[in-house]
Structure 1
Amino acid sequence: MSGHGFHVHGPHDHELEHAAQHEPAGMAGQLAVITAILACIGALFSYQGGATQANAALYKNNAAIKKTEASNQWNYYQAKSGKQNLAELALTLVPDDKKSAYQQEIARYKTEKADIKVQAEKLEAESRDWDKQSEAQMHQHHRWAQATTLLQIAIALAAIALLTKRRWLEWATIGSGIAGVGIGILAWLHI
């Protein structure tokens, strides 16, 4: 515009006016807000996914430790069984005056084995419990990962919608975002 009261359009002014008139109202602003919200939610979901994956690994490690402790107890049980068997064999081979000592040993081994068996079964149960907790955490991790992936897809669709100015892609962005949030809610509810 000149200072003398008349206006001269530049060659690009007409194109800018045309683009502003034909661009969906506020599409860029809407997509910017949607993208920012999706990115924040996605960051939270990603964090939760990592946390549940770490928990699953920790719980699986605890299960392995308990399984090893149970195996050690069963080995101890077998060692006592071997000693009991030797005492029972000795009972048949020794003279009558020494049999009472071997009978006492046999009774002691039976008692010790019963205690060891209880401990081994308890450790096996603890191992199974840790395994179940690990599986539950992995299921939850997969939900968080699915939710995060859908939010990342929604963000990519938002960029494409902005570049192509296609309203249907904006709706696909919103749909993918809603699906991602929905799966995130399922993860939060442990479903």
Structure 2
Amino acid sequence: MSGNHFHVHGPHDHELEHVAHHGSSDASTNSIAVATAVIATVGALFSYMGGATQANAGLYKNNAAIKKTEASNQWNYYQAKSSKQNLAELGVQLTQGDVRDSYAKEIQRYKAEKDDIKVRADALEKESADWDHRSDEQMHLHHRWAQATTALQVSIALAAISLLTKQGWLKVAMYAVAGGGVLLGGAAWMHL
């Protein structure tokens, strides 16, 4: 207990304090302690990148939804123009003279307006699909960063167990799992 606050040490912290106060005749303990600090630092960076890519994925998915809504609005506008065009076509069938000519002009105007609306709606749908694709890529990277972070956390746990049990195979396992984590982080960095 320090002051009025509880201070809880894990087994790994206790071992590091013991080595700091009493020294260590085991060079392996020192190398594991240094490796653990490096692994923890790299893990923190990987965790940050995982969070950033997850946030990006959410933002990109939101942009995709916005563009999809805008495209839907354009398609609704297109349908409204189609309905007006249909009424004008009916007007052509039911009238004669100048009124009929007026309806024929409206039909042409609605066709031209619909063509413009269709171009805008198609462009918005393409933008939505592009944002969706970017979101999917970011989520893939997020998963890769999360896998790398998890591997590094497991290697830190193996380091603590190795320090406590003095089992050499756990030290080897720690380095192997840490290496796997670094490889996964490298794959995320290279967008694989």
Bin the TM-score by the shorter chain.
Answer: 0.7 to 0.9
User: Quick check: 1:140–1:187 contact (8 Å CA) kept in 2?
Assistant: yes
- Contact in 2 for aligned 1:24/1:165 (Cα 8 Å): no
Q: Does 1:63 align with 2:64?
A: yes
How many residues of Structure 1 are paired with residues of Structure 2 in the alignment? 169
Deviations along 1:98-149, one digit per CA (max 9) or x if unpaired, are 1111111000000000000000000000000000000000000000000000
- Quote the Cα distance in structure 2 between the aligned partners of 1:25 and 1:162: 10
Does 2:106 correspond to 1:105? yes
Residue 102 of structure 1 aligns with an amino acid whose one-letter code is: Y
Identity of aligned residues (%): 63
The one-letter code of the counterpart of 2:31 is Q
User: Unmatched 5+ residue regions in structure 1?
Assistant: 1-22
| Contact 1:24 1:167 survives alignment (8 Å) | no
For structure 2, list consecutive stretches of 5 or more residues without a partner in the other structure. 1-23
How is 1:28-39 mapped onto 2 (pairs within 5 angstroms)?
28-39=29-40
How far 1:96 sits from its partner (Å)? 2.4
Partner of 1:139: 140
Give the partner amino acid of 1:82: S
State the shift of 1:27 in Å.
1.7
Question: How far apart, in 2, do the equivalents of 1:34 and 1:150 lie?
Answer: 14
SS in 1 for 2:132: helix
Q: Which residue of 2 aligns with 1:117?
A: 118
Contact 1:55 1:134 in 2 (8 A): yes
Larger radius of gyration: 1
**What is the TM-score of this pair, normalised by structure 2?**
0.86
Show CA shifts across 1:138-188 (max 9, x none).
000000000000000000000000000001100000000000000000000
Structure 1 segments, 4+ long, off by >3 Å, are none
**Offset at residue 24 of structure 1 (A):** 8.4
The answer to whether the Cα contact below 8 Å between 1:158 and 1:173 also exists between their aligned partners in 2 is: yes
**TM-align CA RMSD:** 1.1
Q: What TM-score do the two structures reach when normalised by structure 1?
A: 0.87
